[in-house]
Amino acid sequence: MAYKKPESMDECVYFSNRDVGAGSAMVWVFKQECPKCHKALMGKPVDAKTGRAKIRAKEYVCPGCSYSVEKEEYEEGLTAYCEYTCPECKEHGEAETPYKRKSIDGVKTLRFNCQSCSANIDITKKMKEKKKKK
């Protein structure tokens, strides 16, 4: 089953397309529709002067009805989708996981598992390097 891919960045809360070791991964998280009016996608509040989303906002707002939800509460219900080429076995596959970053080796990471060899495919926050053990 092929996951639906985003057609625009306006549909996504998070998107990343990068190389992971010898493989590659494309990860995306779709925005949810407003639970109150069911007409628009929730997003970060927009700055009136510039017309751009406020990046560090602690809430998500519906542009249609102005309903707002706290960032942590909103992001708990999201799902991250991944289309990858495994760095271990070179197989192509798809995976999904809840959009919750875990701290792995000191770096906030989304972890997906390969369907064929169960290898870990880690997508780190802001492409940080894992800490080396001494």
Q: CA torsion angle for 2, 121, 127, 33 (degrees, to 10)?
A: 40
Q: Give the C-alpha separation, 117 to 85, whole Å.
A: 12
110 burial type by CB count under 10 A (0-12 exposed, 13-18 middle, 19+ buried): buried
At 6-60, the pLDDT tens digits run 999 889 999 999 998 899 999 999 999 998 888 889 999 989 899 888 989 999 9
- Does the pTM exceed 0.95? no
Residues contacting residue 69 through CB under 8 Å, at least 6 positions apart: 35, 42, 59, 60
